[in-house]
């Protein structure tokens, strides 16, 4: 679907005039990097529910690179416009693109990061010498293996930070996302069908506190009615144009 110059101008103006912009991203922001989404027409869960084989990434995970949509958000942060980013993605592309971890809540974890089950500190696999071939993915439901790394800070059990079905949501990220959603005056949703709870509650929280809601997604979402501006477009294409417009009129 295409978008108009007026669409670009409206979103650019709302972002430029925002006093506290929070962005919420889903798998749709990463499709232009070669990763499949989950709830779209060709999404992983959509195809699986139909009994069809899900699409695989076009490259190995460690070779997937951020796209124009990710980098547009980094530029908005560098310009002082983006204050916080809430993401449902585990693909590490926001951090890889340059978003600081201190302004990022990864609600479903990050496939490159492990965490301590006791003190909740995050570590890269390299930092703690976690070897997938020896110790597996380290998911919460997997039985600990002999000699697997322990937390260097408290000796607690190390697990993957990825939140799988049935796992509890990360308390720290949920609390911070709720706080940021109450604080923002503009929330921009990018690439999410807004069908997964409790993550989809944050745009509702923002709306309830009077924030303007921008939704950019190729497919329909579960919260169409809360959008002040609704754009059907690829996020990389659209956000690049928005960024250009903001720079011209700053």
Determine phi and psi for 16, rounding to 5 degrees. Answer: -60, -35
**C-alpha dist (Å) from residue 21 to 72, 109, 173:** 14, 22, 18
C-alpha angle 155/161/163, rounded to 5°?
135
pLDDT for the residue 51: 61
Structural domains for the chain: 5-110+169-249 (3.40.50.1220), 112-161 (no CATH)
pLDDT for the residue 222: 95
Per the prediction, the chain carries an average pLDDT of: 92
Q: In the annotation, is 108 catalytic?
A: yes
Say what percent of the chain tops pLDDT 90: 85
Both tokens assigned to 200: 């989809």
Q: Does the pLDDT at position 174 exceed 90?
A: yes
For residues 152-157, give the mean pLDDT: 96
CA distance 212 to 14: 8
Q: Which of 70, 94, 108, 111 is catalytic?
A: 108
3-class SS letters over 49-107: HCCCCCCCCCCCHHHCCCCHHHHHHHHHHHCCCEEEEEECCCCCHHHHHCCCHHHEEEC
Residue (of 12, 1, 30) closest to 229 by Cα position: 12
Q: Which SS3 state, helix, strand or coil, does residue 16 take?
A: helix
C-alpha angle 128/130/131, rounded to 5°?
155
CA distance 202 to 235: 20
pLDDT for the residue 45: 43
pLDDT digits (tens, 9 = 90+) for 86-120: 999 999 999 999 999 999 999 999 999 999 999 99
CA distance 221 to 244: 27
Q: Does the pLDDT at position 42 exceed 60?
A: no
Local confidence band at 40 (pLDDT 50, 70, 90 cut-offs):
low
**pTM for this entry:** 0.91
pLDDT digits (tens, 9 = 90+) for 56-90: 667 787 889 999 999 999 999 999 999 999 999 99
Local confidence band at 165 (pLDDT 50, 70, 90 cut-offs):
confident
Q: Does the pLDDT at position 161 exceed 80?
A: yes
Provide the greatest CA pair distance for the chain.
60
Supply the Cα-derived Rg of the chain in whole angstroms. 18
């Amino acid at each position: 679907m295409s978008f108009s110059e007026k669409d670009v101008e409206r979103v650019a103006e709302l972002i430029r005039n925002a006093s506290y912009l929070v962005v919420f991203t889903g798998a749709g922001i990463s499709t232009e990097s070669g990763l499949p989404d989950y709830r779209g027409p060709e999404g992983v869960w959509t195809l699986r529910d139909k009994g069809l084989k899900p699409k695989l990434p076009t490259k190995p995970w460690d070779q997937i690179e951020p796209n124009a949509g990710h980098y547009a958000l980094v530029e908005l942060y560098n310009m002082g416009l983006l204050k916080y980013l809430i993401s449902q993605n585990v693909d590490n592309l926001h951090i890889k693109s340059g978003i600081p971890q201190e302004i990022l809540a990864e609600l479903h974890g990050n496939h490159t990061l492990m965490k301590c089950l006791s003190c909740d500190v995050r570590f890269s696999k390299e930092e703690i010498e976690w070897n997938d071939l020896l110790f597996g993915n380290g998911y919460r439901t997997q039985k600990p293996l002999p000699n697997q790394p322990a937390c260097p800070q408290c000796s607690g059990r190390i697990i993957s930070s990825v939140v799988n079905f049935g796992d509890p949501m990360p308390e720290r990220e949920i609390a911070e996302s709720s706080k940021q959603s109450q604080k923002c005056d503009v929330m921009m949703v990018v690439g999410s069908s807004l069908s997964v709870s409790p993550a989809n509650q944050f745009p509702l929280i923002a709306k309830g506190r009077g924030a303007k809601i921008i939704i950019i997604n190729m497919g329909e979402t579960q919260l169409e009615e809360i959008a002040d501006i609704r754009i059907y477009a690829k996020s990389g294409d659209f956000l690049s144009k928005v960024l250009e417009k903001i720079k011209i009129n700053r």
